[in-house]
Structure 1
């Protein structure tokens, strides 16, 4: 199937013999399916896409049921986005109200990212145990508690406690949303659907910036508490939305609940024949994974799999394909945060202050423009991930970021040298460069990291493998966020952006040499792609 996966979801697939006989009378296009099945059996060819009748056209069709599930799951990502956006302004107000130092601001901002490491690591085991759907509810409930604590915080330690709890919820959310969407989505639209979490992160960032602008005029002490407390609203909506979501069909197969998995696949496929084929592929992948890893020793007494033995398989005795997958998944997540994007978003008012914009309302207004640019470009990227592919979008985004960061470093250096007489064109150049940096991030690393991390691991390793990769993501985000201001004070903002430019050059080289293309392939085909080292 691998070489013809582009046709996978646009044809009537031959069913297994027993299924074909049982289902044939119920199909309106039964003659076409029967013909396709007969041709496949007579020629004895394993590649079914060569033996089927074309389904209308080769243009991908977006399944509404899969889209609805993806939107509900991705809404969880608004929580992180809102925090990034709102903390960029709230941190300034908290600093004035609680009289804290710049180091304390860094700790306050970065601790959420560091603590999200706990949620990321725990989410893999949790989702293998209770399922993808209820893990999303755990994420929303945890963040809800953290948001309430932050909104009611009377002091800095209390506020820190709220950030820790919210961070654990964010860690759960960042791992489970892309994994759930990837496992639910058809192959030809998986790139678009799995990039929706990044779209919602960008929407959350924009909402955070708007919140800063709207509430900054309120009395100090009320404004930042209201900004942070409002984060409870989307988490409530997410928790309620879980009730309408189906469970991941691949998790259901691993649990032996084949009929439930089949019903979900029927609703997310073009026709029943395609659902049968997808189910057969998933069952085959699950069986192969079980035999490779001696699954009979890692199951519960009732024969179901709860993720036992996966960490050993990932870190102690990985096979060559698994090791390649780990390097790629960890690498792309490392560079996502080493790019400094989160720090730029968190501290954008500080950057714009350095650029010469002093008025508070103007600072928050410029961040809204930046948020709009980021949201628009992530939507464009989501639409092109499937037709263009993951590699081209990653390479375009990383190259664009390298150039934009170099220009931003040059602009900040010129402003530093000019002293109090800052040229307006240099200020404008810095603002454009910041917007370009976050826009190129939204084209490449932003959405593609979630897509790639969630689709390259084998079924048995997917939840905990993704949680390991996302944990590296969160650790790097915390390190960068907690050191950005201090390092910038030591080497100037210009020097910091030059360093980040060098990081993105290294990222571009890594993506070019190590990342194979995965567009249009089923999750089961991608595992074989890494075994073959095909590019």
Structure 2
């Protein structure tokens, strides 16, 4: 049995994204618990009101523990490009799920910090493979009008993984001893097992099948997913024709390597894809995900109040991703990214201003004896900090969160899509690693200025998106080529990014009405559909 419903396919595939979410909150919910701090303690042990209080790992070591997963993900993302091109999108994701289980076993059984780091690196390799190839797999199966929605489900799966694992970890925090963190670290294998078996009933990417000259299988998948069993469906025939034409063109340009992504005909889109992932990290969102308990502890929260208040942002993250999933194809990629950067910048600057104006340095050793909790703010201003943090999370969840996964696979032609998405995702993980390692020492050394730093990054990304990021919504993956190359395949940069408007109505009509191009143009008379996204003819 093979499933043909595109929503069911995406729902199973994006469990790979949920693995990343499980990892985030399995660390963020645990790093402030006494059992974790005492088991991996590298500092002083105190007794406060009869309760033991351990300093836990040093701030630089905790940064290394957190960042080790991202380091493994960087490697996994790069490897995934070769793996995906050789054995297929689906099988590469299944291999990632097996690696996740191996890493989770080591993490669960960790006896010391080095063993914990090794397990997290292995987990990271899995997350790197899945996070790079799940968007490629879905984007190569999805129709143009639903591609953004379906790939955005990866981000929604991440948010659900964060939320579920946080509450699992919170519940386990009431368990005595090391079981309080070993149980959640063991339970995180469950989604990987479900992903492995779920992928067995999904079709392979039709575009990957076409690259391997498996044309009958390619047509069968298109018929199953888009034609409702009718291989003569106009939309199926149009997709099949475009894939065939693209494959024939690419065979004449058969050199496929990472170096090709930096050639003149690719460098523009490579730069856009890479910076989409870099900027998604420099928003500072993962600071809020990994170290939210530090942030809220500095705002005066402690104990159960600290963990429950921290969990609210995960609920917001899940809820605010939904509007983007439903309407990102209508909104377009560019407006969503620009407005998201604007609002995140506002709330980060607000937090920095509140901390600087109403806060003060914490006592030596930090709040609750944790060095990274280096600043204190109380009263109404602390509530304002918490509110701005929630609003920042909402701004990310509805914009950069889903679009940063949707956008890069849309930019590249078939022959390099696997490697290109792997490369762009590797930059996500490289910066995730850097920030995971940098933030705890940054809270110690520059304190509230961390907010200002990320606010400046948000301002820079807003300007960059406006001038350099083209619109891709409403277009087939083959039509996106027209943004970057002329009809002869020569690099073309004559279309300003802010003029590459989407063609949503055009794509909807083509998919739902089964019209040919000539008839469709008659029905869309008076509307600009492809004019702005196609280069003028050569003279």
The answer on whether the counterparts of 1:70 and 1:193 sit within 8 Å (CA) in structure 2 is yes
Match of 1:109 in 2: 66
Matching of residue 311 in structure 1 with residue 265 in structure 2: no
Deviation at 1:92, TM superposition (A): 2.4
Deviation at 1:417, TM superposition (A): 3.2
| Greater mean alpha carbon deviation, residues 100-109 or residues 252-261 | 100-109
Q: 2: CA distance between counterparts of 1:77 and 1:341?
A: 16
Deviation at 1:105, TM superposition (A): 0.9
| Greater mean alpha carbon deviation, residues 208-217 or residues 407-416 | 407-416
Distance 1:199 1:181, change over 3 A: same
The answer on whether the counterparts of 2:340 and 2:396 sit within 8 Å (CA) in structure 1 is yes
The answer on whether the counterparts of 1:337 and 1:473 sit within 8 Å (CA) in structure 2 is yes
Match of 1:221 in 2: 178
Q: More helix by proportion, 1 or 2?
A: 1
Q: 2: CA distance between counterparts of 1:211 and 1:239?
A: 22
SS of 1:120 mapped into structure 2? helix
Matching of residue 389 in structure 1 with residue 343 in structure 2: no
Deviation at 1:418, TM superposition (A): 8.8
Q: 1: CA distance between counterparts of 2:377 and 2:139?
A: 49
Match of 2:319 in 1: 376
Matching of residue 91 in structure 1 with residue 31 in structure 2: yes
| Greater mean alpha carbon deviation, residues 157-166 or residues 242-251 | 157-166
Q: How does 1:303-382 map to 2 (within 5 A)?
A: 309-315=256-262, 318-320=263-265, 322-359=266-303, 361-382=304-325
| Greater mean alpha carbon deviation, residues 187-196 or residues 216-225 | 216-225
Q: 2: CA distance between counterparts of 1:368 and 1:267?
A: 41
| Greater mean alpha carbon deviation, residues 337-346 or residues 163-172 | 337-346
- Paired positions, count: 454
The answer on whether the counterparts of 1:355 and 1:412 sit within 8 Å (CA) in structure 2 is no
Match of 1:398 in 2: 341
- Residue of 289, 312, 318 corresponding to 2:250: 289
Q: 1: CA distance between counterparts of 2:100 and 2:307?
A: 25
Cα RMSD (Å): 1.6
Deviation at 1:215, TM superposition (A): 1.1
Matching of residue 200 in structure 1 with residue 200 in structure 2: no
SS of 2:226 mapped into structure 1? coil
- Residue of 220, 226, 247 corresponding to 2:204: 247
Matching of residue 191 in structure 1 with residue 148 in structure 2: yes
Question: Which runs of 5 or more residues in structure 1 are unaligned?
Answer: 1-62, 299-308
Match of 1:261 in 2: 218
The answer on whether the counterparts of 1:82 and 1:208 sit within 8 Å (CA) in structure 2 is yes
Matching of residue 178 in structure 1 with residue 135 in structure 2: yes
The answer on whether the counterparts of 2:135 and 2:409 sit within 8 Å (CA) in structure 1 is yes
Match of 2:525 in 1: none
The answer on whether the counterparts of 2:17 and 2:157 sit within 8 Å (CA) in structure 1 is yes
Deviation at 1:411, TM superposition (A): 2.4
Matching of residue 530 in structure 1 with residue 484 in structure 2: yes
Q: 2: CA distance between counterparts of 1:229 and 1:419?
A: 36
Match of 2:240 in 1: 279
Q: 2: CA distance between counterparts of 1:208 and 1:353?
A: 20
Q: Alpha-carbon deviations, 1:347-402, whole Å to 9, x = none?
A: 0000100111122x111101211001011111111111111111111111111110
Q: 2: CA distance between counterparts of 1:367 and 1:422?
A: 17
Q: 2: CA distance between counterparts of 1:134 and 1:121?
A: 16
Match of 2:429 in 1: 474
Deviation at 1:128, TM superposition (A): 0.4
The answer on whether the counterparts of 2:128 and 2:429 sit within 8 Å (CA) in structure 1 is yes
Match of 1:160 in 2: 117
Q: Alpha-carbon deviations, 1:270-307, whole Å to 9, x = none?
A: 5522111101101111111221x2x2xx5xxxxxxxxx
Q: Alpha-carbon deviations, 1:163-198, whole Å to 9, x = none?
A: 111010010011011000000000111010011100
The answer on whether the counterparts of 2:276 and 2:404 sit within 8 Å (CA) in structure 1 is yes
Matching of residue 499 in structure 1 with residue 442 in structure 2: no
Q: How does 1:55-66 map to 2 (within 5 A)?
A: 65-66=5-6
Q: 1: CA distance between counterparts of 2:60 and 2:86?
A: 39
Q: 1: CA distance between counterparts of 2:428 and 2:378?
A: 38
Deviation at 1:419, TM superposition (A): 7.1
Q: Alpha-carbon deviations, 1:218-240, whole Å to 9, x = none?
A: 11311011121111111111011
The answer on whether the counterparts of 2:360 and 2:377 sit within 8 Å (CA) in structure 1 is no
- Residue of 147, 151, 158 corresponding to 2:108: 151
SS of 2:453 mapped into structure 1? helix
Q: Alpha-carbon deviations, 1:20-66, whole Å to 9, x = none?
A: xxxxxxxxxxxxxxxxxxxxxxxxxxxxxxxxxxxxxxxxxxx9711
TM-score, normalised via structure 2 length? 0.82
Q: 1: CA distance between counterparts of 2:293 and 2:197?
A: 35
Match of 1:123 in 2: 80
| Greater mean alpha carbon deviation, residues 212-221 or residues 268-277 | 268-277
TM-score, normalised via structure 1 length? 0.82
Q: 1: CA distance between counterparts of 2:335 and 2:481?
A: 21
Distance 1:107 1:138, change over 3 A: same
Q: 2: CA distance between counterparts of 1:213 and 1:410?
A: 31
Match of 2:473 in 1: 519
Question: Which runs of 5 or more residues in structure 2 are unaligned?
Answer: 42-56, 364-375, 486-491, 501-539
| Greater mean alpha carbon deviation, residues 211-220 or residues 409-418 | 409-418
